[in-house]
Amino acid sequence: MSDAEARTFEMAKEAILSMRTDGTPTDTIQFYNRWAETYEKDIELIEFRAPAMAAQRVSALFSGDRRAAAVLDVACGTGMVAKMMKREGFQNFVGVDCSPGMLEHARHSGLYRELKMAVLGDQPLPFASDQFDIVVITGALSASHLPADVIRELCRAAKPGGLVCMTGKCDGLNLGYKAAMEGEMERMEDQGLWRRVDVTHVTEWQLGVTEDETGYIPGCVYVFQKL
C-alpha cells in the first residue's frame, strides 16, 4: 500500500492545517511541494467538491466546441479540474501553478499541452490577454492564498465571450474574503468587463477541518462571461 493509499481523514486534516495562514509566498510554495504526493487522496478524504462542481457548471453553460475550447486552469495543482473537465468533453488544457511539486504531478497526468509556474498575486498570469475560451480556478480564492482583486487577471486572460469560473468556500472563516471578492465582481460588472452568468450555492462543499467547523461547510461556484 502506498503512502497516499494509507491516508486517513485525520492525516489529511493535519496536512491542511499545517499551512501557515500568515505565511509568505515562499511558505505557500513549500507547503504545496510537500503536499503534492498525497494531495489528491487528501482532497478525496475531505470530500472537496470544487473541481467536480466547476466542471459541471462550465459544461452546462458553455455552448461552443468543447473539444477545441482553450481552457486555462489557474492554480491547477495536480490536475483535478482538468480530469473532471475531460469527462465533460474538454481536451485543450493549459495550467499554471506556484508549486513545482504540484506541476510535476500535473505534467505526469498527460492532460495539459502547456504548464507554467507563476506566483499569482505577486505576478500576473504568464499569458497574453484575450486568449482562453474558459478560465477556471478552484480552491485558491481565499485570504491565505490570493488577494480578492486577482480575479481581474482571470478576466484579462479570457477571450471576449469566454467564461470565467471561480469557486470559494462560504464558511465563517472565509466570509470577509468572500464579501471582498463579490464586491470586486460587482465593480467589474459596473465597469463593463464581464457579466454574471450563474452563481451556484452548494451546502455540502467539503468536510470542515478546523475546530470551529463541524460536518460539511458550504461553498459557491461563480461563472461570468467576459464582455
Q: Does the pLDDT of residue 49 top 50, yes or no? A: yes
The Cα 221–Cα 210 span in angstroms is 22
More confident residue, 25 or 185: 185
Judge if pTM exceeds 0.85. yes
By the 8 A CB rule, do 157 and 129 touch? yes
Q: What is the CATH number of domain 9-226?
A: 3.40.50.150
Q: Cα angle at 225 between 145 and 157, to 5 degrees?
A: 55
Using one digit for the tens of pLDDT, what is the confidence trace for 57-110? Answer: 999 999 999 999 999 999 999 999 999 999 999 999 999 999 999 999 999 999
Q: Which residue ranges make up each domain of the chain?
A: 9-226
Q: Which range has the worst mean pLDDT, 2-11, 35-44, 98-107? A: 2-11
Q: What is the DSSP letter of 148?
A: G
